[in-house]
Amino acid sequence: MNGEQSALAEHTVEHKPTYGIYILVWLVLMTLTGVTVAVAGINFGNITIATALTIAVIKSYLVLTFFMHLKTETATFKIFVAVALLFLLISISLLFSDYSFL
């Protein structure tokens, strides 16, 4: 190895979550799925959709962070994901601004 490769190897840190972390996140996802099903059966009025969307955002965050390894990615990749999510949010907000709820 030349000097540049050995310097890179010294600064490379393995970020491997343990199986316990994966099982814990999976259990949290299953619990949140159960909460989503329970909330769907209860009529909270206008808050029902907001509650379901909030739980979906939390579940998406957990999947992106742990199962898709976004936690250990570079800042550039995180920015690309944030921009994609921003455009998704803009598209959804434009969709709902055009849709009449009356």
Does 31 share its domain with 59? yes
Does 41 share its domain with 76? no
Integer Cα distance of 89 and 86 in angstroms: 5
Closest CA to 74 of 32, 12, 25: 12
Please state the domain count of the chain: 2
pTM of the model: 0.68
Does 81 share its domain with 51? no
Does 57 share its domain with 80? no
Does 58 share its domain with 79? no
Residue 93 domain boundaries: 72-102
One digit per residue, the tens of pLDDT, for the chain of length 102 reads: 555 555 555 555 566 778 899 999 999 999 999 999 988 888 888 788 888 889 999 999 999 888 888 888 888 988 998 999 999 999 988 888 877 665
Closest CA to 80 of 64, 100, 60, 97: 64
Does 61 share its domain with 97? no
Does 29 share its domain with 51? yes
Q: What is the pLDDT of residue 86?
A: 95
Residue the block writes with tokens 């329970």: 38
Does 47 share its domain with 60? yes
Does 7 share its domain with 57? yes
Does 36 share its domain with 86? no
